[in-house]
Amino acid sequence: MLANVVLASVKIIAGVLGHSSALIADGIESVADIVGSAVIWGGLRVASLPRSERHPYGFGKAEALAAVVVAIMILAAAGFIAGDAVKEIRQPGPAPAGFTLAVLIVVIVVKEALFRFVRRAAGATGSAAVHTDAWHHRVDAITSLAALCGISLSLLAGPGWESAEDWAALLASGIIAFNGLALLLPPLRELLDAQATDVIEVVTAHAAKVPGVVHVQKAYARRSGRELWIDMHIWVDGAMNVRDAHTLAHAVKDAVRAGVPAVRDVLIHIEPAPAAGRETTQAGSGSDAYT
């Protein structure tokens, strides 16, 4: 956040002094980075709060909500940059000053370094919100690179090419919008409790290995921040008493949580395994016996 404050100030001042609308727009996008990082930080703080009686599932979805806000900010930044670029293309101004190129080179290096640093943090914590914030830095580097190419072309080509930086900014806005949409979908799916398909096969395999489990009929998984919540239906011997079924359910839960540390809790529904004849009939009639 501190790095973005410095970069935003430098870019806006250099853009005004160097007559570069692309650099000014880039600076404003860095201001959005500051707000975005603050939103992510706030989301992580809320997500780390302990569970309560009113919120027994915790606050993990605050991370996804923060990621959605930042993704929307990225889309808004793309719209602002595109609108400003179109305006400048229609009414070209003077060619930007040469020193703006040096500023942009420094910005690109710093923003790419920030992207890699924050992406490593996202990988270490498994946080989708931090991953979104990392790509916010990459988006800023893209806009700076586009401005660098555009300004270089306008300076090298001479009179008549003053709007080259604005065309570059317009192209960059399209790239930014595409990335914004790509970053918006995963946290949006999480907020809508979409199936976490990447873990279903793993948790099912761990449950099936527990002695006494005849079959894992179905399993659902949803994410809440960095944690997973599992709902599972398992078949057991129909003659098993309640106490043994309860013990078996706990054994399955322990096996799943040991195999997948991100799993916060497992809700298990016990069902009596059908007789061989009925099992075959169900499977052949298209029921959900093996769904």
Full pLDDT tens readout for the chain, 291 residues: 888 888 888 888 888 888 776 777 777 777 777 888 888 888 888 988 888 888 888 888 888 898 899 889 888 888 888 887 888 778 776 767 778 888 888 888 988 998 999 889 888 877 777 887 888 788 778 878 877 887 788 778 777 776 777 787 788 788 878 888 888 888 888 888 888 888 999 999 999 999 999 999 999 999 888 889 999 999 999 899 999 999 999 999 999 999 998 898 999 999 998 875 444 433 333 334 333
* Selection from 229, 251, 253 nearest residue 240 by Cα: 251
Q: Cα separation of 228 and 46, whole Å?
A: 17
Question: Where are the domains positioned within the chain?
Answer: 2-191, 197-284
H helices then E strands: how many in the chain? 9, 3
Which residues touch 11 (CB under 8 Å, ≥6 apart)?
23, 24, 26, 27, 30, 103, 107
- Written as six digits, the tokens of 88 are 């400048």
CATH number of the domain located at residue range(s) 2-191 in this protein? 1.20.1510.10
The DSSP secondary structure of 143-157, one letter per residue, reads HHHHHHHHHHHHHHH
CB atoms inside a 10 Å sphere around CB 274: 17
The correct answer on CATH 3.30.70.1350 for the domain covering 197-284 is yes
- Check for a shared fold between 2-191 and 197-284: no
